[in-house]
Structure 1
Amino acid sequence: MDTQGQPWDAAAADRAVAVLKAVADPSRYRLLWALSGQELPVSALAELLGAHVAATSQHLAKLRAAGLVVSRREGTRIYYRAADVRGLLDEAALVARASAAEETGTAAEAAAPEQTVAAPTTRARAVRRRPATGH
């Protein structure tokens, strides 16, 4: 996309920022990954996140407000599917991979991205322990 010759569009920028904010939460990002390939009910999405249905519904409401997911009701179940977000997710993964490669000094890997991008995985946060002092 060539943005050099285009005039600044404040409204479009505000919409883009709203989309990026909606995706900025790890749970919402994972929801979009899951929904980019299939339609799923809230209960299955909550299980995928390891979260309560109510919390998952709140995340989905933010994604829906940003226009990133659509829903349909079938009886008492609500099913969600992603709008056309695969390009957004792929670009975010590409930028993240390039950033990680720069940090580790493997820029050649970032320059040649894979054809497909694997779904994100949750990482356990490493706990640093202070060295024991001899008291």
Structure 2
Amino acid sequence: MEAQVPSWDEEQAERSVAVLKAVADSSRYRLLWALSDRELPVSRLAELIGAHVAATSQHLAKLRAAGLVASRREGTRIYYRAAGRQVRALLECAVLVADPAESGSGGAGEAEAPAAVAQESPAGVRARHRPVAEH
């Protein structure tokens, strides 16, 4: 029996490359981690990555163009969030690819960010997968 090889879809490939390019910047990657489980305003996101609001807005525009974040306006503030659970899955896959030893660790099936980037959650429970330092 011959293995079925999926046909090449040029349009899908271009969209996939756009997503990977959008995530290929450390500031945008960190923004996505922060937004993968909560909604935040631009000002707070700028604080988290240590950048000016204008630069953070430009990063968010690229992430929005790639379909990775969504936004809503409340008065004069704009709040951002990940566009869906698949965004978190993309980030976790990147962790696994970057550290193949993690994928065979026999853990709970969850990718773990390096210990240096772990943080305390608001409830005081140690949270993983957020390479964004809270100040």
- Between structure 1 and structure 2, the one with the greater Rg is 1
TM-score bracket, normalised by the shorter chain, equals 0.7 to 0.9
8 A contact 1:94–1:113 mirrored in 2: no
Question: Once the 2 structures are TM-superposed, how far is the Cα of residue 121 of structure 1 from its aligned partner?
Answer: 5.9
Aligned length: 110
Task: Give, in whole Å, the separation in 2 of the partners of 1:113 and 1:92.
Answer: 18
Which runs of 5 or more residues in structure 1 are unaligned?
99-106, 123-135
Q: Determine if the alignment matches structure 1 residue 111 to structure 2 residue 113.
A: no
Q: Deviations over 1:104-129 (max 9, x none)?
A: xxx5x55226433232368xxxxxxx
8 A contact 2:28–2:63 mirrored in 1: yes
Task: Give, in whole Å, the separation in 1 of the partners of 2:59 and 2:71.
Answer: 13
Q: Which structure carries more relative contact order (alpha carbon 8 Å, separation 6+)?
A: 2
Task: Give, in whole Å, the separation in 2 of the partners of 1:38 and 1:58.
Answer: 20
Moved over 2 A (4+): 113-122
Q: 1:96 aligns with which of 95, 98, 111?
A: 98
Match for 1:119: what amino acid? R
TM-score by length of 2: 0.76
8 A contact 2:22–2:28 mirrored in 1: yes
- Between the aligned residues of both structures, percent identity stands at 70
TM-score by length of 1: 0.76
Which runs of 5 or more residues in structure 2 are unaligned?
113-128
8 A contact 1:41–1:79 mirrored in 2: yes
Q: Which moved more, 1:110-119 or 1:52-61?
A: 110-119
Match for 1:6: what amino acid? P
